[in-house]
Structure formats: C-alpha cells, structure tokens
Amino acid sequence: MIAIALGIGFAAVGFGTVFCLIRLALGPDAVDRALALDTLVVNAVALIMLLGIAQATAIHFEAALLIAMLGFVGTVAFCKFMLRGDVIE
Amino acid sequence: MNAPITSLLGEAIVALLLLAGSFFMIVGSFGLLRLPTLMQRLHAPTKATTLGVGGILIASMLYFVFETGRLSVHELLITLFLFLTAPVTAYMLAKAHLHRARAERELPPTGRPVGWATFDPGEGSDRSDDGSRPGR
C-alpha cells in the first residue's frame, strides 16, 4: 500500500517540478522566476523526503533541511536584489 | 519495500497522508503554472509549502514510528522552518513585484480609499511617498 502511494507521490512531485521548470522558463518577470525557484526548492525537499521513506533511512533529513534553508536565503537575496539593486547594503 | 510494517492501520494512515501531500504538491505547482497574474500565482505555492510538504513530513514521521517503534521528531524541524519562512518569502516576493510593477505603472486599483500600503503610508507614518525610509 505504501509502495503504491510512494509511486503516486513521486509522480505527482515530479510533475510539479516540471510545472515549476516551465514557469521558470516562461515567467514574464524576474519575480515570477524567483517564485518558480522557491517552489522548485519546496518540491526538491518533498522529493528528498519521499526518497527517505522509500529507502527507509533517516539519512536524508539533513540534506532536506539544508536545501530548505538555502532556498529561503536564496529567495530573500533575489528579492533584496530586485528591490534595492544590492543584496547587502 | 523491505521494511516490515507492523500494523495495517498504520500503513493505511501513512499511505493516505502521502497521497494528500502529493495532491497538494501537484495542485500548488499547477496553480503556479496556470494562474494568470503574479499575485494569484503567489497564492498557489503556499498550499504546496504548508499542506503538501507538511503531509509528506507527517507521513514520514509516522512511517518511522510504525517501523522502528521510536518517535522521531526531527522531521518537525523542517516543517517548522518551512512554516516560519513561507510568509517571509511571500512578503518579499510581493513587495518586489509591487515596486517593479509601480515603475511600469501597471498596478491594479486597491478598491479602497488608500493606495497600496508600501507606497501610501497611513497617518503618523514617517516614511516618504516612494516607500524608502527617511535619510536614505
């Protein structure tokens, strides 16, 4: 039962990643692309968590936490750059 | 799956949470792709961040509880971090969008007597009209 749910989950999150990539390529504005990158990071965290369940190891959690943190910092840095033209003033 | 699951009920709960989380993940990304304006697109991925990742993380937590019999709470760390940072990210993206769209004069009307809050400060605010702080 869990194997079927994991397969559906991998497929759904994979399609979500593809949608984010399409928005990243289309995105009419730079803010759209920053938002697509942020959602891409969230999808990556979900994929890593699904991989952790599929392999039944707890070794991937640090990677997921690191990717979530770097995604947040990257998005905020992008927004600061778009707002002020500089990341650290 | 080589890991034994002790109870059928636990397996059903984990599978249900996985399905719910995956559903919200794909709904959030689909909304990001299909919604027409950026303010509406900003709304969709919050579902993926909170409900989608939250569901998958709770499923992972319960899975390790049912598999090893011990409670592992460090998945909650990721959930807490994402819940804390999602509003900050959305705020920063919305403000960047407002300031960039204002330069191109394409902001929609607010529908209220006051303008957008980042440009039209209320009474008692010491901020100047262009959203920058005095002294800058």
In this prediction the ipTM stands at: 0.87
Whether B43 and chain A come into contact, CB under 8 Å, resolves to no
List A residues 25-84 in contact with B (Cβ-Cβ < 8 A).
29-32, 34-36, 38-39, 42-43, 45-46, 49-50, 52-53, 56, 58, 61, 64-65, 68-69, 72, 75-76, 78-80, 82-83
Output the pLDDT for position A43: 94
Q: In this predicted model, what pLDDT tens digit does every residue of B54-65 receive, in sequence order?
A: 999 999 999 888
Count, in order, helices (H) and strands (E) of chain B.
5, 0
pLDDT band for A83, please (50, 70, 90 cuts): confident
CATH topology of domain A2-84: Helix Hairpins (1.10.287)
Output the pLDDT for position B127: 54
Q: Of A29, A47, A36, A25, whose CA–CA distance to A71 is shortest?
A: A36
Q: For residues B65 and B52, what is the distance between their CA atoms, to the nearest angstrom? A: 20
Pick out chain B residues at pLDDT < 70: 1-6, 103-106, 121-136
With vertex at residue A45, the alpha carbon angle to CA B90 and CA B66, rounded to the nearest 5 degrees, is 125
Q: In this predicted model, what pLDDT tens digit does every residue of A15-38 receive, in sequence order?
A: 999 999 999 998 788 899 999 999
